[in-house]
Amino acid sequence: MERNCYNSSPAAAVFVELQAIALRCLQIPTLADRRSDRLDFHEVGVGCLTDALYEAYLLGVRSASPGGATDPPG
């Protein structure tokens, strides 16, 4: 059973965005728990991690704004 607390519609939309950030910035294909160290643990560079954290921060800022996470950035 996959663990995630993203069952509500807004949270599910954010989770999709987080998965996109993981793929784009960290080259991690999924955030699903695959129960394998080889698949669940990744070595990433500090620059890539910084980029991913910044994108996640911006996602949070957009989510907190009126209209929610579906608003376009900027």
For 35-67, write each residue's pLDDT tens digit: 999 999 999 999 999 999 999 999 989 888 776
State the pLDDT at residue 64: 85
State the pLDDT at residue 58: 94
Domain ranges of the chain: 9-33+42-65
DSSP 8-class letter at 2:
-
Q: Structure tokens of 44?
A: 């990433």
pLDDT band at 33 (very low <50, low <70, confident <90, very high): very high
